[in-house]
Structure 1
Amino acid sequence: MTQDLTQRTALVTGAARGIGRATALTLRARGAQVVATDLSDSVHDLADHGIETLTGNIAEEDCAIRSVAMATERFGKLDILVNNAGRTMNKPLVDMSMADWDDVMAVNARGTFLHTREAVKAMLSTGGVIVNVASIVARVAMKNTAVYAASKGAIAQLTKVVAVEYGDRGIRANAVLPGVVETDILNGIMPDSRATLASYGPAHPLGRVGQPQDIAEIVAFLASPASAFMTGALVTADGGYTAL
């Protein structure tokens, strides 16, 4: 088995920064043709790396349709979907509004559903792989994460259903559950997202938090033939945090 992705076409959402950017670059480096999408125009910086790019809001049906269409029209097929795009919210349950709930669920849960649906349609005759980026809060509870945890739990269960429903069509679906990863996800919530996240390092058996490349390597493995007998799996990558 190999992690060579030559002749494979991949679609990566939320690719402008963090885990998504690292994943898009890693898949490209391993030979895949990549379509990278994001809400931010900065995703177009990836075009310099031989990656096709597109902007759009993953919560909107049209974005999913356009993204999959770009992959199939430019490269003739879609082999890999990485549902990475998402947003977080840190609020006590009683302080959350309906808009808070709906906004996070629209991006994380609905966006993943829409892209998965369109990707499966494209993969029905050829097979393929879906890798979803969930979170350890899909398995364990943390304070002030009600809607984020619910949305990631939805992604974890969707992953399992797709694996069972379409395994006989050659479609695999797995999810990676990152713990604390040093990214910009808390921008606008904390004064310094990266420093805040990095400060959790001592709470991990490995003595550090994750880096985007740590997760990108797992995504690339799950997207490759090397994981051919894995489907419906939830792969925890948290530096040992949930082992404590």
Structure 2
Amino acid sequence: MERGLWCRNSGAGGLKTVQLQGKVIVVTGAGQGIGEAGAIELAAHGAAVGCVDLSGENADRTADAIVKAGGKGMGLCADVTDYAAVEAAVTKTAEAFGSLSGAFNCAGYIGDTANITKCSEENWSRVIEVNLTGTFLSMKAQMLAMEDGGGSILNVASGAGLVGVPGRPGYVASKHAVIGLTRAGALEGASQNIRVNAICPGSVRTPMHEAVTRKDPEVEAQWAAAHPLGRIAEPVELGQCARWLLSDEASFITGAAVPVDGGYTAQ
């Protein structure tokens, strides 16, 4: 496999709606969790989707699910911390489906649980590299591709980017920074009709979430109870919000950090 790029193309077919008809959208972290659910949701409503993931196998699986449902999808293997790989994924998506008009940046890494005094430099650096630098590099390639035609970029921040959470300093810092980066991008992109927003999930039932709860099953109940709605979100609920924010129905929204957290940050 050539480093940073691997792809599979797809066909077209039936849709739930045409809300995103004609949109070409790249989704990073599309191999699982919010990214996977988001890619499938976007395709089901008319978008052609470049499914980008560090795992080519997982990217392909998501693209295959889109194709089997009658949509347009392409699997692409890229490390979001490698600009050349991210740029190549954007280029391949545009070559297959047309000019890029949207992006959903979901690639992320939670890191180890450790207070500031116990957090290793390696853990800190890796979380910042994936969550912040990876989002920056993805946005850079995406905004360059949208310079002529405009578009919409949606970053995944976190409820932890709006409040303080103990035990994960790198994650909290990186998600606060993603919100700042989102707002900077919104101001810089406005003159080219590029909208940039972020969603801030609470706890979501993803592989990242399950990796934590497997180690301590009591955490599941604790996290559910921390949300006023009393439960953990399903990935598709984030995908549905993303679908609207990436559509023309949200055409006057930019620079926003939207909580999708069951009321967690309203407390």
TM-score > 0.5, shorter chain as reference: yes
Checking the alignment, whether the CA contact within 8 Å between 1:47 and 1:53 is kept in structure 2 is yes
- Report the Cα distance in structure 1 between the residues aligned to 2:151 and 2:126, rounded to whole angstroms: 30
Counterpart of 1:219 in structure 2 is 242
The residue correspondences of 1:16-95 to structure 2 (distance < 5 A) are: 16-40=31-55, 41-48=57-64, 49-50=66-67, 51-89=73-111, 90-95=113-118
Checking the alignment, whether the CA contact within 8 Å between 1:185 and 1:193 is kept in structure 2 is no
The residue correspondences of 1:77-116 to structure 2 (distance < 5 A) are: 77-89=99-111, 90-116=113-139
- Report the Cα distance in structure 2 between the residues aligned to 1:225 and 1:194, rounded to whole angstroms: 41
Aligned counterpart for 1:129 among listed residues 128, 152, 170: 152
Deviations, residues 120-169 of structure 1 (Å, cap 9, x unaligned): 11101000000000001111001112100111111101110111111011
Identity %: 36
Checking the alignment, whether the CA contact within 8 Å between 1:187 and 1:193 is kept in structure 2 is no
Which stretch of the first structure deviates more once superposed, 183-192 or 90-99?
183-192
Aligned residue pairs, count: 243
User: Where does the alignment leave 5 or more consecutive residues of structure 2 unmatched?
Assistant: 1-16, 68-72
Runs of 4+ with deviation above 3 angstroms: 186-190, 192-199
Quote the RMSD (CA, aligned, Å): 1.8
User: Do structure 1's residue 203 and structure 2's residue 258 form an aligned pair?
Assistant: no
- Report the Cα distance in structure 2 between the residues aligned to 1:107 and 1:142, rounded to whole angstroms: 19
Q: Secondary structure at the match of 2:199?
A: strand
Task: Write the letter of the residue equivalent to 2:259.
Answer: T
Cα offset, 1:197, TM superposition: 3.7
Counterpart of 2:180 in structure 1 is 157
| TM-score between the two structures when normalised by the length of structure 2 | 0.86
Counterpart of 2:197 in structure 1 is 174
Cα offset, 1:242, TM superposition: 1.8
Cα offset, 1:188, TM superposition: 4.9
Q: Secondary structure at the match of 2:254?
A: coil
- Report the Cα distance in structure 2 between the residues aligned to 1:3 and 1:107, rounded to whole angstroms: 33
User: Do structure 1's residue 236 and structure 2's residue 259 form an aligned pair?
Assistant: yes
| TM-score between the two structures when normalised by the length of structure 1 | 0.94
Do the aligned partners of residues 239 and 187 (structure 1) sit closer, same or farther apart at CA in structure 2, a change above 3 Å counting? closer
Deviations, residues 36-83 of structure 1 (Å, cap 9, x unaligned): 011122221123222100112111112211111111111221000111
